[in-house]
Structure 1
Amino acid sequence: MKVGFIGLGNVGGKLAGSLLRNGMDLSVHDLNDSFVADFVSRGAKDGSSPAQLMQDCDAVITCLPSPAACDAVVSEMLPHVGPGKIWMEMSTTDASEVKRLGALVLAAGGEAVDCPVSGGCHRADTGNISIYAGCTRATFDKVLPILTHMGRRILHVGEIGNSSTLKVMTNYLATANLITVCEALTVMKAAGMDLGMTYEAIAMSSGTSFVHETESQLILSGSRDVNFTMDLVQKDIGLFQKIADDHGVPLEISPMIIDIMSDGQKRYGVRAQSDRIIERLEEATGLSIQAPGFPQELIDDEPEERGYEVVVRR
């Protein structure tokens, strides 16, 4: 299949890189010409525009920073959608919006897939990230070979929109993990515990998590650069809160997390790295939550392998 990719930013550039590295026939587009030039230098084609990509490719993937950007791109592609054309949305967006755009693609005779990723930029870079795919089973079978070049674990989640709902839920959990990890590390430092030892104690315990085993390292090294900014966190946890509100679920922790992240944005900037939320506690206590021996950036040391479909327990 000929694949187009629109949006070569932090995550999109890494996902598109996995397609290129694994020999896919790839054309790319981004508003940043230097991103496109880099891909062309490595063997991709310059896709020129969203409209041209939809004309030239069997499947066009979008990985964009906002629902508004996605709406603009899909609107440009829509006149060229028809039978045999597939739109694959890999952004984290509102489920109702991806359903609306997906319905337009389907009405034009094409197919639509809602397929956001989870697992961090370092895993997106190696093809080891996880992907949720919302679409018909027939469409899923068509795009699975593409998805398995970008991700390790691929989960078919039913109709379009389900992926976005699940994705904001997982990002809510990750943010809750980040807040509690910050509190745990700060309390242990205040209690006189060595932070390197504390890291290992958590990692080998029932209290560990993906967030601890990745983001805690960036907190302790002082890097605090996880390639995910507070505005993106706020978007995702806000979407999760909206789902809860729409279904009448009276959450207690979620509003507190939103308030904590809002305060972090006021202190450090709307687009500050999310791991800088630890600095609220450092300022409140006068403690430095750092330790030697931790990396400045996350590296995925798992070998790259072709992905596979995760089968749901029934």
Structure 2
Amino acid sequence: MSDMKPSVAFIGLGIMGRHMAGHIFAAGHSLRIYNRSPGSAQALRGRGAVLCDSAGAAAAEADIVITMVGLPSDVDGIYLGAGGIVEAARAGAVLIDMTTSSPSLAVRIAAAAAARGLSALDAPVSGGEFGARDARLSIMVGGDAGALERVMPVLRLMGSTITHMGEAGAGQHAKLANQTVIAGTMLGIAEGLAYAGRVGLDLEKMLAVLGGGVANGALLAALGPKMIAGDFTAGFFIEHFVKDMGLAHAEAAARGLPLPGLESARSQYAKLMSGGAARDGTQALLKAYAAPPKAEL
């Protein structure tokens, strides 16, 4: 990379990606973009970003390629498929997948990239839409430390906490541990509020009590008010959270580690998904406890 700001390709302009790409563009980097639904790319295109017709085309002329898509199958396709990022990227480019995905897939992408003279980092994030909007994401990175150092100025445009977790795949493992913590926390918040509501307590007062004690935390502060207001607009889709919990379950099971709290949360969220709430935000977990109580015998 030259002394000039490196050119960036950003693939995936959803709820979080559009904010992340916007910070990079605002900092003066030339930006090539691709999104499966072109409508989501129009705002950045209107500001001067170059809209490309495929992920490979976006990557072909970029020093840094960043992806923020939905599923591991999406990651596999855009990186390792014919005409994809690994095949199209120019020598010396750094590829950064910020999707929550499979650790083993991250290892495969890193190996394929290295074979072509590229560097690949898995760098999933935590912080949701608000963290992306405010450039305060926590970014967990797996891969070569030297490659991370080269792209650190760009990562700092999106996140306030950037941590090198180890070799390829380690960033994804860290994110799955993060999602396991979130799963248990969301379960506790929803069940506590459901209990308080069922026994007739004022939920606004209950939130104040929780926020003033050791139960306080970022999830409670951000999503507790939305829960009691019945605002289930997504900052992070239930369907994506269920995907993340499934990945964490598979990785833990492969190592003989039972995670009953994770499984309880995954079961509740899966029921909500099957009931049509896949695109609700994760705070919609409260709906799982909304059924009227059974009459006493």
**TM-score, normalised to structure 1's length?**
0.86
Kindly indicate whether residue 190 of structure 2 is the aligned counterpart of residue 193 of structure 1: no
Kindly indicate whether residue 24 of structure 2 is the aligned counterpart of residue 22 of structure 1: no
Comparing 194-203 with 43-52, greater Cα deviation is found at 43-52
Q: CA deviation at 1:82?
A: 4.8
Report the AA paired with residue 11 of structure 1: M
Kindly indicate whether residue 173 of structure 2 is the aligned counterpart of residue 165 of structure 1: yes
| Alignment equivalent of 1:116, drawn from 93, 100, 124 | 124
CA distance in 2, matches of 1:30, 1:92: 17
SS of equivalent to 2:32: strand
CA distance in 1, matches of 2:89, 2:232: 42
Q: CA deviation at 1:7?
A: 0.7
Q: Contact 1:51–1:77 (CA<8 Å) still a contact in 2?
A: yes
| Alignment equivalent of 1:32, drawn from 33, 37, 52 | 37
Larger relative contact order (C-alpha < 8 A, sep ≥ 6)? 1
Q: Contact 1:4–1:47 (CA<8 Å) still a contact in 2?
A: no
Q: Please name the residue that 1:298 is paired with.
A: none
CA distance in 2, matches of 1:13, 1:25: 15
In structure 1, the gaps of 5 or more residues are: 287-314
Report the AA paired with residue 198 of structure 1: M
Q: Please name the residue that 2:156 is paired with.
A: 148
CA distance in 2, matches of 1:73, 1:250: 33
Q: CA deviation at 1:274?
A: 2.5
Q: Contact 2:10–2:65 (CA<8 Å) still a contact in 1?
A: yes
CA distance in 1, matches of 2:181, 2:139: 17
Q: Contact 2:66–2:97 (CA<8 Å) still a contact in 1?
A: yes
| 1:49-80 Cα deviation digits (max 9, x unpaired) | 32222221101111111112112211312223
Q: CA deviation at 1:258?
A: 2.0
| 1:97-126 Cα deviation digits (max 9, x unpaired) | 111112101111100011111011111012
Kindly indicate whether residue 127 of structure 2 is the aligned counterpart of residue 94 of structure 1: no
Kindly indicate whether residue 276 of structure 2 is the aligned counterpart of residue 268 of structure 1: yes
Q: CA deviation at 1:231?
A: 1.6
Q: CA deviation at 1:252?
A: 2.4
Q: Please name the residue that 1:55 is paired with.
A: 60
| Alignment equivalent of 1:181, drawn from 185, 189, 213 | 189
Q: Contact 1:28–1:44 (CA<8 Å) still a contact in 2?
A: yes
Q: Please name the residue that 2:135 is paired with.
A: 127
CA distance in 1, matches of 2:226, 2:234: 7
| 1:221-244 Cα deviation digits (max 9, x unpaired) | 221223222221111111111121
Quick one: structure 1 residues 99 and 284, their matched pair in 2 at CA, closer, same or farther if it must change by over 3 Å? farther
SS of equivalent to 2:23: helix
Q: Please name the residue that 1:209 is paired with.
A: 217
Using the aligned pairs only, state the percent identity. 23
CA distance in 2, matches of 1:8, 1:122: 15
CA distance in 1, matches of 2:214, 2:51: 48
Q: Please name the residue that 1:68 is paired with.
A: 73
SS of equivalent to 1:37: helix
* Length, aligned pairs only: 286
